[in-house]
Amino acid sequence: MRALFTLIGYVSTATLIAIAVGLAYLWQTNLLTNQKMFRIVALVHDIDLDKIAEEENLGEQVAPPEEVSMEDVELFREVKLRDYEVKINALTVGKQEFERTFRDLNEGRKRFDQIASELKDRLEQQKELASEENLAAVVNGLEMMRPAEAKELLLRFMDEPDGKRDAIILMKEMQQSKLAKILLQFKLEGELDQYHEIQQLMLDGFPEGPEIENMLEQIQRTDAGP
């Protein structure tokens, strides 16, 4: 009997050693985790973990909902009211900032339009003055030239695009006595034909006449509407 107990002891010790070696191998190879070890221990102690989990879930479902106190309701209302007030305040501040920015932009645009209008008027005056000064300079140059040379220059003006308009303007600005001397130089047939055309245009009110008629037509179209 003593030999039997001794044999059983050896077998039990060997079994435990084998189990320990096997567990160590599983742990090193990550085949045995803490969760698996916990389930193994639970099985050894005859504990059903799945049943416990089901009972806990059932308990959570059956548990009656917690009643909300009046203090909690009042606190919730105060939080919501405070959040609403913060949003309204932010909206009001944003609206005021937008109105102030829009007002500044509007005033800046008015100042810009005023400056642009003044600059435009000043440029128009300078342009008109420069045109008058340039015209006077050209007329003065023609009057100082010999009549034959002045005639050749007028003929060159007439040959250019819209040059007849420039020639008429120059002739109107010249002194009549000096202009007469220049016109006496128009003797060839081609020169007389060009001068005749100039005279015809002047009788038709050129260049002011066509420009005035064009403006009147534009005014009439504007009054007629689409």
- The per-residue pLDDT for range 111-145, each reduced to its tens digit, is 888 887 877 777 777 777 667 788 888 888 888 98
pLDDT tens, position by position, 195-208? 888 888 888 777 66
**Shared domain check, 78 and 55:** no
CA distances from 201 to 40, 168, 190, 194, 205 (A): 121, 9, 17, 11, 6
**Shared domain check, 216 and 166:** yes
**Shared domain check, 105 and 88:** yes
**Shared domain check, 72 and 36:** no
* pLDDT at residue 32 is higher than 60: no
**Shared domain check, 139 and 81:** yes
**Shared domain check, 175 and 124:** no
**Shared domain check, 161 and 150:** yes
Given a contact cutoff of 8 angstroms between Cβ atoms, the answer to whether 135 and 169 are in contact is yes
Instruction: Report how many domains make up the chain.
Output: 3
How would residue 16 be classed by pLDDT, with cut points 50, 70 and 90? Answer: very low
pTM for this entry: 0.39
Instruction: Calculate ∠ Cα 64-65-69, nearest 5°.
Output: 130
Instruction: Tell which of 103, 119, 144 closes a domain.
Output: 144
Instruction: Tell which of 144, 165, 191 closes a domain.
Output: 144
Q: Whole domain around residue 192: which residue ranges?
A: 145-224
Structure tokens at 18: 């084998």
Instruction: Tell which of 144, 165, 188 closes a domain.
Output: 144
